[in-house]
Amino acid sequence: MRIDIISIFPEYFTPLEVSLVGKARERGILDIRLHQLRDWTHDVHKTVDDTPYGGGPGMVMKPEVWGEAIDAVIAQGGPEGAGLPRMIVPTPSGRPFTQRVALEYAREPWLLFTPARYEGIDARVVDEYRSRLRVDEVSIGDYVLAGGEAAVLVIVETVARLLPGVIGNAQSVADDSFAPGPMENLLEGPVYTKPPVWRGHPVPEILLSGHHARIARWRRDQALRRTFEMRPDLIARLDPESLDERDREVLAECRERHEAAAFRAGPQSMAD
């Protein structure tokens, strides 16, 4: 996979030289190219922003600079047979970035990221490139960052670990929280390693039993309980047809405990 990133802070992406992503780059699985946006400015101050039309706080990134930069990167060409890149614009107003979106991106041969600063990029840039490329405006969460670079790091690492050969054990990806399949919309349960007892805390006996079917059932039970506690919104998304009898028993137990705890806390908690 080829990834191009245009930014006024290309040094922000040093973390992509280490860990799994760094190893994937060394092995040629991932080709990441960084571009300094200011290289396409034409004034002595290398200006990339200006005041917004209509007034208001902050500055807006100029369309001329972004247009020249994107055109130049596209003109370099991508991997053989890749065609044009898929352009990804991180923004709090974009569609949510999820594991399913990451899987979608992992199937692309060429991604182009355009992280913004200040109040964002002039909207005409997205309008212009939508007529030529597939352009995604994507949000990694309901909050605002100082710039889109951190969001690009999140997306690139999420996508990179899905590429064949990046993670040694492919089952690790299949068992992830949110991964499509039996664990979709469920958080991963707790994990343990040696020693069997640490500071008085033992590993659950079932994990030492060697009984794979029972261990798998225990892990699913824990995933259901953790998701009910931490992300009840995900429980609401579960397909009832995907739940077996034991799943329903676990969720019923969770609801009973929740209702009992709310009752003990008083009428206000019950109302909430």
25 is catalytic: no
DSSP-assigned letters across all residues of 42-55: -STT---EEPPTT-
104 is catalytic: no
Q: Which one of the listed residues 4, 136, 176, 221 is annotated catalytic?
A: 176
241 is catalytic: no
Question: Cα–Cα distance between 136 and 106 in angstroms, integer?
Answer: 14
- Kindly report whether the peptide bond that precedes residue 204 is cis, defined as omega within 30 degrees of 0: no
Q: Which one of the listed residues 2, 86, 161, 225 is annotated catalytic?
A: 161
Question: Cα–Cα distance between 82 and 38 in angstroms, integer?
Answer: 27
Q: Which one of the listed residues 38, 92, 231, 253 is annotated catalytic?
A: 92
Question: Which structure tokens are listed for 20?
Answer: 């799994």
136 is catalytic: no
Q: Which one of the listed residues 104, 119, 137, 157 is annotated catalytic?
A: 119
- How many other CB atoms sit within 10 Å of the CB of residue 30? 22
Burial of residue 151 (number of CB atoms within 10 Å: 0-12, 13-18, 19+): buried
**Residues known to be catalytic:** 92, 119, 161, 176
